[in-house]
Amino acid sequence: MTSYGFSTRAIHVGQDPEPITGAVTVPVFQTSTFAQDAVGKHKGYEYARTGNPTRTALESAFASMEGAAFGVDFASGLAAEDAILRMLEPGDHVVMGNDAYGGTFRLISKVFGRAGIGWSASDLTNPSDLAENWPENTKLVWVETPTNPLLTVVDIEAVAEVAHANGAMLVVDNTFATPYLQQPLSHGADIVVHSTTKYLGGHSDTVGGFVATNDGEVDSHLRFIQNAVGAVRGPWDVYLTLRGAKTLAVRMDRHNDNAAAVVDLLSGHSAVSTVLYPGLESHPGHAAAKKQMSGFGGMVSFRVLGGRDAAIRIIEAAELFILAESLGAVESLIEHPGAMTHLSAEGSPLEVPDDLVRLSVGIEDVSDLLADLEHALGAA
């Protein structure tokens, strides 16, 4: 199926009609265990923590979408990140961007930090600075692009060159871009991680995580952790995510279009001081985004005049944009990162501005979204 287009693979890879009944949709294999033909002889499945046919279908489909040889599903995006970080030993070091998801920062600094893993935050938009100031014992460089919540774009290929020259692996969180808009493995990344809760599932109805790689040793490690630690999802949640991903391409096209219209509105509004969106030619990472992305996504952040109080007034005045954490689903969301998703980074090098508002632009009628934003911005 590698010769087929993206949407075809999303719908068909790993999802052949079920052989006994001919069902065209992958069944929900709601079972905890599997009958064996003899001691030590089974049909490929023995216990649902170790493997489940519904999960196998998702892992095959999502790996194909990322252009990867291997894919492993987890109970959440952070469970997926945890499994990757368990490749490290005490004394090893992780470099992450100085603009990263608060949950990633918390996991690396406050969980793995206590286990003897060192970390530092670097401006990964400047790979030459990273090369000149390479931290000792660095084994992983952790990239988000675009980042959460400042929409910074990192040149994956350039950072991969620095990481590999120093014997480290490059991990790319591809949650914001999705494999439809960006495939980091083709730009030199070693590992790609997703919160499938977001765009891949796309409907705010299930939590999950996924890791893709072309490295067989990494895959073996991830599968060992998946089974040994047990951070796996039930088959119904896997099914919902697999179903959601079938429409990823058409949803992302709409997210792209709606976000571009929102950016046009924000860019000319008197209450807005700065719009952060990689599709803007004025964005510092626009050239890198054009090089490695086929579209600029549905996430938009902006800073407002009047500081935190004005930002809160805008957020609370919105009606169609729902005040909620998370992102990447069909409905539009609005939040204050400093007080919500990135509160754990307060006081750290990853602290975000308190006048920042983050939008996850959904797929509603764009005229309704623009009218709601006009109303909300008036509250500033």
Q: Which residues are catalytic?
A: 49, 101, 173, 198
Both tokens of residue 353?
């501005």
Q: DSSP state, 102?
A: H
Pick from 170, 197, 172: nearest CA to 183: 172
Sheet-wide strand order for 322-323? 272-276, 299-304, 356-360, 333-335, 322-323
Pick from 151, 162, 108: nearest CA to 297: 151
**What b-and-e string marks burial along 58-75, b requiring 16 or more CB atoms within 10 Å of the CB?**
bbbbbbbbbbbebbbbbb
Determine the Cα–Cα distance for residues 354 and 336; give it in Å rounded to an integer. Answer: 8
- Beta-strand relationship, 93-97 and 118-122: parallel
Q: What SS3 class is residue 93?
A: strand
Both tokens of residue 325?
């954490």
Determine the Cα–Cα distance for residues 178 and 249; give it in Å rounded to an integer. Answer: 10
Cis-peptide, bond into residue 146, ω within 30° of zero: yes
